[in-house]
Amino acid sequence: MSTNTAARAHVTNFIRNIIDTDLAGGKVKGVVTRFPPEPNGYLHIGHAKSICLNFGLARDYGGRCHMRFDDTNPVKEDTEYVDSILDSVKWLGFDWGEHLYYASDYFEKIYEFSEHLIKNGKAYVDSLSADETRELRGTLTEGGKESPYRTRSVDENLALFRRMRAGEFADGVHVLRAKIDMNSPNINMRDPVLWRIRHAHHHRTGDKWCIYPMYDFTHAISDAIENITHSICTLEFEDHRPLYDWAIENTPCRSSASRPHQYEFARLNLSYTMLSKRKLIELVETNLVDGWDDPRMPTLVGLRRRGYTPEGIRMFCDRIGVSKADSWIDVSVLEECIREDLEHRALRRIAVLDPLKLIIDNFPEGQSEECFAPNDQSRPELGKRIVPFAREIWIERDDFMENPPKGFFRLQPGGEVRLRYGYIVKCVSLDKDGAGNVTAVHCTYDPLTKSGSGTEQRKVKGAIHWLAAAHAQQFEVRLYDRLFTVEEPGTARDYKQDMNPHSKKIISGYGEAALVDAKPEERFQFERLGYFVADSKDSKPGKPVFNRTVGLKDSWAKEKAKG
RNA sequence: UGGGGAGUCGCCAAGCGGUAAGGCAGCGGAUUUUGAUUCCGCCAUACGUAGGUUCGAUCCCUACCUCCCCAGCCA
């Protein structure tokens, strides 16, 4: 976690400016942030932005970041989610130390503060139905009307509120509301609900409570209790800020002289992706994907299984910055980050995923010869391994063209190409099936051109990868692609119609023998193809399954597309 | 036509009255047994629009335009 601090030193954004000012002016003496997810789903790349922001600020300013679950709605929350959230934050590379909290641990205090509000005439028990409450709330352009229960006495409110807690009422019968201003132009200030009755089992407090506090109230108080200095959330909470301040100022919740302040930043929007928790849950529950950790999911567990690294994701978060402007980041930025990270850490291996037989006519049948391939050409210290050369080999179908366009410098009739780490071969003839499809390419090799032999004087423009047919191992390979075909799925129509029918393609490919021992989550660069990871769930000892994380940049594909 | 926000290069994003950082993408070139990587170079007389204040404005003022968020007993 100490890497890139120099590179990060110049990073600035409006939140860092606020912190700098607060620190310089003595408003705060240190930085305490928090990451407050609700345990009702799995974390996704959008949460990573928030995690990197909050934990990154704590790290860079020598403060701390609390991990806190905003678990105020028992019907949506579950320990399955808290476990995975904790695991994902840890995996991303952040550490909350001793500071793991649950808003539900504050229920008793929040309850006390609520009685305090009632005693001060700042909260009342309302007995309107949800529908009636909505009607009286008014609209965006018109003020609301006060509830007939708004004038109940302190004693009556107190008694009713205690009976609510005691479980004497059914769900929805009463609610505790803040007494603020039904005519406020800010709808959040029109006597917001503070507590509601929910006879539901809570993942942590069990059946201790049958009333649960609302987010706005709970969050502000939780921040104050934990002495959070900078409470950073997303833009949609901007007009909740007056309520956040109201809760802190009207309640004896502060344990120190200073109080937390809320700041809002723009949430992440990623093209060709969906980051709505509700929709992600739907994808999982309707089996449109294979679970939360489906490698096509933008969830942290999905990205992990896809082969993304914490470093790559953090690089992405650093790269996109933080501001208040609504913005869309193209997924290619994410993809480029993982390439950049893997480029310097993934060992190189050879695989042929769309095989075409190549026969070397002048190489003796039944023989093979050792060739050596470096584990990473840019890091010779990592050594090399043997790749056998033989008469019959597999090459990538894309690397041969019978009638190539201009600029194609791979194998073609009469042309030469280097078999990487092996010999230069020349295409002399073709085998075809009845339909005219090429079934095998015949070549001759030049014995003087062996890589590393010292006799390889000649150079040719093209170099392709290959695998001796008799030695190649077969592996299941999953070629993943974007889950959606449009930049903003679900905007023009139902997102299900925007799904990419080819987002997952399972094939059987050939790989070199060294791949047999790949351990789950081990990442490789399959030369000239892309980055692949041994699947963490379906790989078996000696029988890894590979997921394509991302392809290599392909300027030839771009060239071809231009025409 | 209520309230709260945002508009700086294709995509992000600095800038806080003194004459437009940086990243990504793109483009050109070099190197290359990955059409990858790496390396060099280029890439906003311009900051939503129109006025105004000022010696000077992306930064201040006025008006307008566009986009986003808010009427859960969700977070």
CA→C1' distance for A480 and B70 (Å):
38
The two structure tokens encoding residue A111:
């309850």
Which nucleotide is nearest, taking the CA of residue A325 and each C1'?
A: B6
Q: Pick the closest to residue A373 from A470, A474, A466, A508 (CA basis).
A: A466
* Half-sphere CA count of A313, side-chain side, radius 13 A: 30
Residue A481 belongs to a domain with what CATH number?
Answer: 2.40.240.10
Q: Do A392 and A291 share a structural domain? A: no
Q: Domain for residue A470, yes or no? A: no
Which protein residue has its CA closest to C1' of B35? A556
Question: Is there a domain that residue A309 lies in?
Answer: yes
Residue A562 has pLDDT above 80, yes or no: no
Tell me, yes or no, whether A452 lies in a domain: yes
Q: Which residues of A are catalytic?
A: 38, 267, 277
For chain A residues 338-367, those near strand B by a CB cutoff of 7 A are 339-340, 343, 348
Question: To the nearest whole percent, how much of chain A has pLDDT over 70?
Answer: 98
Q: Do A358 and A340 share a structural domain? A: no
Are A223 and A363 members of one domain? Answer: no
Is residue A560 pLDDT above 90, yes or no? no
Q: Which of residues 528-557 of A touch strand B (CB under 7 A)?
A: 528, 552-556
Two structure tokens written together for A287: 């089996």
User: How far is A557 from A222, CA to CA, in rounded Å?
Assistant: 53
Find all residues with CB under 8 Å of A141, minimum gap 6, and list them: none
A540 in any annotated domain: yes
Shared-domain flag, residues A300 and A312: yes
Q: What's the CA–C1' distance between A364 and B34, in Å?
A: 28
Angle at A162 between CA A160 and CA A164, to 5 degrees: 70
Indicate whether A224 and A302 sit together in one domain.
no
In-domain check, residue A236: yes
Give SS3 for A245. Answer: helix
How far in angstroms lies nucleotide B63's C1' from the CA of residue A382?
Answer: 67
Q: Which of A451, A390, A442 is nearest to A411 (CA)?
A: A442
Nucleotide showing the shortest C1' distance to residue A75 CA: B74
The alpha carbon of A387 is separated from its chain's Cα centroid by a whole number of angstroms, namely 37
Cβ of A172 near strand B (distance < 7 A): yes
A10: pLDDT strictly greater than 80: no
Number of domains in chain A: 3
Does residue A234 share a domain with residue A149?
yes
Is strand B in 7 Å reach of the CB of A13?
yes
Identify the three-state secondary structure at position A109: helix
User: Is there a domain that residue A188 lies in?
Assistant: yes
Stretch A309-331: mean pLDDT, rounded?
Answer: 97
Q: pLDDT tens digits, residue range A454-503?
A: 888 889 999 999 999 999 999 999 999 999 999 999 988 899 999 999 99
Same domain, yes or no, for A180 and A160?
A: yes
The set of residues, in sequence order, having a beta carbon less than 8 Å from that of A98 and lying 6+ positions away, is: none
Domain boundary among A235, A267, A299: A267
Please give the mean pLDDT across all residues of chain A: 96
DSSP code for A400: B
Give the pLDDT mean for A535-557. Answer: 97
Q: Sheet containing A351-352: which strands, arranged edge to edge?
A: A347-349, A523-526, A530-534, A545-551, A473-480, A504-511, A351-352
- What is residue A303's predicted lDDT score, i.e. its pLDDT? 98
Q: Is the CB of A491 under 7 A from strand B?
A: no
Q: How confident is the model at residue A563 (pLDDT cuts 50, 70, 90)?
A: low
- Has residue A1 got a pLDDT over 60? no
Q: How many CB atoms within 10 Å of residue A9? A: 9
- A141-186: pLDDT as tens digits: 999 999 999 999 999 999 999 999 999 999 999 999 999 999 999 9
Cα separation, A39 vs A73, in Å, equals: 9
Q: Which of A223, A244, A267 is the last residue of a domain?
A: A267
Same domain, A247 and A101: yes
Q: Measure, in angstroms, how far nucleotide B75 C1' is from residue A216 CA.
A: 9
The structure tokens 């790269």 sit at A319
Domain endpoint, select from A267, A292, A320 = A267
Residue for token pair 């229960």? A149
Residue A469 in domain: no
Q: Is residue A518 part of a domain?
A: yes
**Nucleotide B4, nearest residue via CA and C1':** A239
**How many Å from the CA of A203 to C1' of B70?**
30
Distance A563 CA to B45 C1' (A): 36
Nucleotide nearest to A15 (CA to C1'): B14
Q: Among residues of chain A, what percentage have pLDDT more than 90? A: 94
Tokens found for residue A190: 């029109």
At A4 the pLDDT is: 38
Mean pLDDT score, A211-228: 98
In this prediction, residues A41-54 reach a mean pLDDT of: 98
Count of CB atoms situated within 10 Å of the CB of A526 = 25
Q: Of A332, A363, A340, give the one whose Cα is nearest residue A447.
A: A363
- pLDDT surpasses 70 at A424: yes
CB of residue A271 closer than 7 A to nucleic acid strand B? Answer: no
- Residue numbers 221-250 of A with CB closer than 7 A to any atom of strand B: 235-240
* Residue A6 confidence (pLDDT): 37
The verdict on A9 and A147 lying in the same domain is: yes
Is the CB of residue A50 inside 7 Å of nucleic acid strand B?
no
Mean per-residue pLDDT, A84-107 = 98
Interval A349-395: pLDDT, tens? 999 999 999 999 999 999 999 999 999 999 999 999 999 999 999 99
Is the CB atom of residue A88 positioned under 7 angstroms from any atom of strand B?
A: no
Please identify residues in chain A, positions 285-344, with a C-beta within 7 angstroms of any atom of strand B: 319-330, 332-333, 336, 339-340, 343
Instruction: Name the residue range of residue A420's domain.
Output: 351-464
pLDDT in tens, A62-83: 999 999 999 999 999 999 999 9
Same domain as A299, residue A165 = no
Which nucleotide across the nucleic acid strands is nearest to A216, CA versus C1'?
B75
Residue A267 Cβ under 7 A from any strand B atom:
no
Strand B nucleotides in reach of protein CB atoms, 7 A cut-off = 1-8, 11-16, 21-27, 33-38, 67-75
Residue A108: give its domain's CATH number. 3.40.50.620
The residue type found at A141 is T
DSSP-assigned beta bridge partners for residue A540 = A543
Task: Give residues 383-412 of chain A lying near strand B (Cβ < 7 A).
Answer: 407-410
Residue A308 has pLDDT above 60, yes or no: yes
**Residue A438: CB atoms within 10 Å:** 16
Q: Considering all nucleic acid strands, name the nucleotide whose C1' atom is nearest to the C-alpha of residue A552.
A: B36
Nucleotide nearest to A137 (CA to C1'): B71
Q: What is the pLDDT of residues A182-209, one digit of tens each?
A: 999 999 999 999 999 999 999 999 999 9
Distance in Å from B11's C1' to A330's CA comes to 7
Closest alpha carbon to C1' of B24, residue: A333
Same domain, A300 and A387: no
Partners of A234 in the beta sheet? Answer: A265
A53 and A132: one domain? yes
What is the per-residue pLDDT across A109-151, written as a single tens digit (0 to 9) for each?
A: 999 999 999 999 999 999 999 999 999 999 999 999 999 999 9
